[in-house]
Amino acid sequence: MSSKIRVRFAPSPTGYLHVGGARSALFNYLFARKHNGTFILRIEDTDQNRFVEGALKEIYDSLRWLGLQWDEGPEVGGNYGPYIQSLRLDLYAKYAQQLIDQGHAYRCFCTPERLAAVRTEQEKAKSPVGYDKHCRNLSDEQVKANLDAGMPFVIRFKIPAGRSVVFTDKIRGKIEYNSDILDDLVLIKSDGFPTYHMAHVVDDHLMEISHVMRGDEWIASTPRHILMFEAFGWQPPEYAHLPVILAPDGGKLSKRKGAASVMDYKRAGFLPEALFNFLALLGWSPGDDREKMSLEETINAFSLEQISPKASVFDEKKLEWMNGLYLAERSDESLFDVIAPDLIDKGWISPNGNKADPYTHSVIGMLKVRSKRVTDLVESMAYFYRDPEKFEEKAARKYFTADAVQILDSIKEKLLTISDFSNHTLEQAFKEISESKGIQSGKLIHPTRLAVSGISFGPGLFELLAILGKDTVLRRIDTARNVISKGTSI
């Protein structure tokens, strides 16, 4: 193990990066940054049958979108590469042969049919299920004969008997296993590819990994890994097994219950800094009541000691709340860059338009504080770029009453006299109408809002009117007036 902090995130391209994997990557990243260490990305692609086309690129894109830029790894390089396991097969074969030569591993020629039969018998007898060590003590002559006959084989690790394997998990404390409950795990599969157990032990040593932070489903495998390090004569890294993430109902995360990919959350309108902040607090606490934390604050506060071994709950409502906070504080210019592709797709702005368009920036600035997601923001902008196609039905029945035509006529008459179409001037104009006509302000505001936006809710009316502009407001009031007077709808 290295005296310097070197940690790795090692996803498999068997699927896209989900929130559990992203949380693991994030904790490794924070630990490296806190201790001026190195954050390494290693791709564990030894399960070729489960390889998903496009998954590798999405893993890279997801990490970069979250701000988790790796210091060593694919597309970056480093002194310990290659960082893709399928490019390191000769290394694994070399070290597997070393274990065989030293008596710590052996070739197993058992067929899948035999292994299945053994398992069935063990289950019937209600005995522990595992490999029965049938090939563990084959003679050299038997092994040679099988090899000469072209029999396929795997390479298994010899778990030593009667050993107490003890390690101190940085999160859970002392953990102890008896080696007699561990079966002889496969190191190299019949296709020549290593298993996770073999590849990660070799790579963690050669890449001088100091700390391994991974999901708690790997706790039961850790004693095997420690015995492998011992067989090689290598010092194992420190281990920290992260708590499981549960759905709000206490069940396992699923696609329906929050286990979406990172890019799914991007597409659903979440900002990277919000998802980063939210994931950091899944199982870890800064030790106080802070929830919204900057990257710098999170790095400074992060420690393995503050990670709880208890399961954490993925609460998407809380993520939405946190996203709303970050959305509100983002600059209008920054949000424009985020949503511009959507606005262009909808035909609301030109692809060749002015990036510093003051109108769009004003709309963003007004609506972002009322939005929980970027998608909410975009949807709420519709009536700023096109006249309402219809009026909210329930609101129309309530506010487009028999006297609404006269009310809208009075408002239009007053607005025609205004040259300074600003918040303050508009507010004063509505106040004067209310006083001169003896009409409550609500009876002026609600039909006007519905007329210009098509909906009954939104930002402050006077700010809304000021941004829409005089010509648009007057045109939409005329349209609404005609709809009311004809008793039709649009």
Rounded to 10°, the helix 470-486/404-415 angle is 160
| Tokens matching residue 178 | 């008896």
CA distance linking residue 48 with residue 56, whole number of Å: 13
Return d(Cα 356, Cα 345) in angstroms, integer: 18
Q: Which tokens is 241 given?
A: 């097994």
Question: In the annotation, is 252 catalytic?
Answer: no
CA separation for the pair 1, 27 (Å, rounded): 19
Beta carbons within 8 Å of 265's beta carbon, 6+ residues apart: 19, 275
* E strand or H helix at 39: strand 38-41
- Nearest one of 25, 10, 4, 7 to 200, comparing CA atoms: 10
Three-state secondary structure call for residue 252? strand
Q: Tell me phi and psi for residue 197, to 5 degrees.
A: -60, -45
CA distance 52 to 15: 6
Q: Which residues contact 259 (CB under 8 A, 6 or more apart)?
A: 18, 19, 20, 247, 253, 314
3-class secondary-structure state, position 212: strand
144 and 150 in contact (C-beta within 8 Å)? no
> Torsion-angle region of residue 174: left (phi > 0), alpha (psi -120 to 50) or beta?
beta
Torsion over CA: 17, 21, 22, 28 (sign): negative
Q: Dump the DSSP string for 13-28.
A: TTS--BHHHHHHHHHH
**Which one of the listed residues 255, 355, 390, 398 is annotated catalytic?**
255
Spatial distance between the Cα atoms of 388 and 451, rounded to a whole number of angstroms? 8
Active site residues: 255
